Structure 1
């Protein structure tokens, strides 16, 4: 599929200064402050290596977490990890667009790579504004004159209209990096060439996102079935009039999703038979996994879908020609309650259909399992689910707009 914006292939980058925005936001141990996983750093290393190998002076912009979170920290460790992965020095600069950062950029030689400080240390980065306004922020105004090209590789953040993501495209020639390019090709191909039957497996705790995707895909006829798991399933069980116990109902309220129960009821009626809900569940009772039919649920925490539900869902999954899955089926971090998540992932991997796993926890679980039968594992849950819900991604729209000029 041809994309209507520029990529690295469209630019002569040798001896040019290239600003590349990546998403290397990584898990950090809250006690030691050490990086726990370098998956995203490895993911973007290919784009950075290609730029460096082609003789570019590569300036990397990235974020880590957000203000107020325990893992909101500098990018010093990220630079060290990236250096090790590339086997090439990546110099960390503890500045974003001040004199230290600008001097470091001006002194770069061909093939050099530097990583500037966490862009979310800059308060204007967090503000949500129209892309044209983001182009007028201090960061963009200070850095844009120093670079020849801007490459956006941060697909996982493509649904955000923030300064470092959308501002530079209005000031310098801009295109997509390899991660962005690969993600969009896979997702647009799946959306525009849906083979039937098409099945969505939606779980996890981001209920609003799942309902948005569900409504869009069922309304436009692209989805034949939606299989619900996780907190999404609990809300649809409530919508179907099933008592899931006060403990689980209170959890739904605590998460701020109680208003979605009515929406779930409406969707179940409107798309009768297309939205599947669990027939049994696994509960956490006396430190153990105990499975119960949904008609006989005690007031205990729901931690996973049950064996009969897994069997029914797996049968539908294996008959699908197109599959999209997002969100785990339960508390997959606990050994007794990872069964639903892992069994459904195995079913997806063994299905002959084209399959996409959204980012986040489900992608992490799929990667840990080392599954080889999944067509595409996305790096961005939020971005991919927004795209599938028919939402426009600000980063992609900006890349298209500047290319059309």
Structure 2
């Protein structure tokens, strides 16, 4: 790691801007349902309690049901820390700036959801983000920027990269820990390296597959979930609408290209499970399509994947194998998690749904490392640079130790 950390700076009595990621699932009534991301940031926040601390985060995306204020987030942090985290419904307007100026040592202020600011959702180079009104108005008020939001590190957004241009910047403890642990996958990993990729975000996973194989980071890819269904449909020429979903033409072309180059290193389900008359049924892929949705990988695929995992030196898993929340279709996810937990490999688990499944099964402590991230995790371990990490590295060169 070439960026600076909290070990390299003095924070007492300094005005510190801390970027965290406490974006969490929200119930229909608007209540936060899971506080695990809050817990991950407590170490950094406690180390900064002797400063004048201002916290910045986001919740949801514009237009989504979970796009809410951070008032509840401040209350949760207050309870966890045992001291008040004051919430203000402003980001960089006059009210926020005046309150920041008046902060005393030991006080903590949480700004409003940073994505309420329209430019926050734009991905642009750090130097351009440093010129946004938010960064320009807030930067003069602070002595130090601390980025602890690893799970958003793949976004080149103003709050993630802009302040590293204008302020001395260091990584928080969570950012430091994630980069250190995941670097083990990228730099001299124990081979063979196997990626198990499932879940619904198949477009992101397809990019990861191409990058990880091209960069010779992954030796084998095991596909499942929607990722497996897409590869299955493309490889066997199945009309995906018969499987209950639709694939963009550009995605199909990308998958065909990946299969032409790397087919021998990508495992695709050989059988699948589907719902019929309220119960689980399985069939080999040769008999598809059947006009019914695929909700899990089948038993033969599970056994095949378990064997690959047993022979692996490193395993990175992200996303469930199927509808794990349904007892009849959680078999694939359960057995893959058990196979990784039972192996002697260095194992990394990521993605909220897969972590939730492992937690429910009591297997979390069986993994070498559990990441707080999904997208940033996959981007990093596939060999692609993370904009926020690069910004911290450049800040270290620009400002040095303080």
TM-score if structure 1 supplies the norm length? 0.93
Matches within 5 A, 1:204-353: 204-241=199-236, 243=238, 246-248=241-243, 251-253=245-247, 256=248, 258-297=249-288, 298-353=290-345
Q: 1-side partners of 2:257 and 2:97: how far apart?
A: 55
**Whole-angstrom CA distance in 2 between matches of 1:233 and 1:111:** 50
User: d(CA) in 2 for partners of 1:301 and 1:289?
Assistant: 11
1:150 partnered with 2:141: no
Residue deviations 1:114-168, cap 9 Å, x none? 1111111111222222211111112112211111110000111111111111111
The Cα shift of 1:43 comes to 1.2
Q: State how far apart, in whole Å, the 2-side matches of 1:84 and 1:131 are.
A: 35
> Pick from 42, 45, 61: which aligns with 1:45?
42
* Structure 1 alignment gaps of length 5 or more: none
Contact 1:237–1:244 (CA<8 Å) still a contact in 2?
no
CA distance in 2, matches of 1:339, 1:127: 39
Cα deviation, 1:66-109, whole Å, max 9, x if unaligned, reads: 11111111101001111111112111111111222122222222
For 2:43 and 2:61, the matched residues in 1 are separated by: 25
**Is 2:116 the counterpart of 1:118?**
no
Q: 1 CA distance for matches of 2:382 and 2:212?
A: 7
In the other structure, the counterpart of 2:131 is 136
Query: Which 10-residue stretch deviates more, 73-82 or 121-130?
Result: 121-130
Aligned-residue CA RMSD (Å)? 1.7
Higher relative contact order (CA 8 A, sep 6+): 2
Shift in alpha-carbon separation, 1:266–1:172, aligned structure 2, 3 A: closer
Question: In the superposition, relative to structure 1, how do residues 262 and 120 fare at CA in structure 2: closer, same or farther (>3 Å)?
Answer: closer
Q: Deviations over 1:315-367 (max 9, x none)?
A: 11011111111111011222211111121111111110111112332223223
Which residue of 2, 5, 22 maps to 2:3? 5
TM-score, normalised to structure 2, is 0.94
1:245/1:96 CA distance change after superposition, 3 Å: closer
Rate the CA distance shift 1:174–1:269 in 2: closer, same or farther, 3 A: same
2:188 is the counterpart of 1:193: yes
Change (3 A) 1:99 1:267: closer
**Match in the other structure for 1:361:** 353
The CA deviation string for residues 255-297 of structure 1, in whole angstroms up to 9 with x for no partner, is: x3x4433433443343343211111111022222111121223
For residues 246 and 20 of structure 1, what CA distance do their matches in structure 2 show?
46
Aligned equivalent of 2:389, options 387, 392, 396? 396
What secondary structure is seen at the aligned counterpart in 1 of 2:47? helix
Matched residues in 2 for 1:364 and 1:358: separation? 10
Match of 1:36 in 2: 33
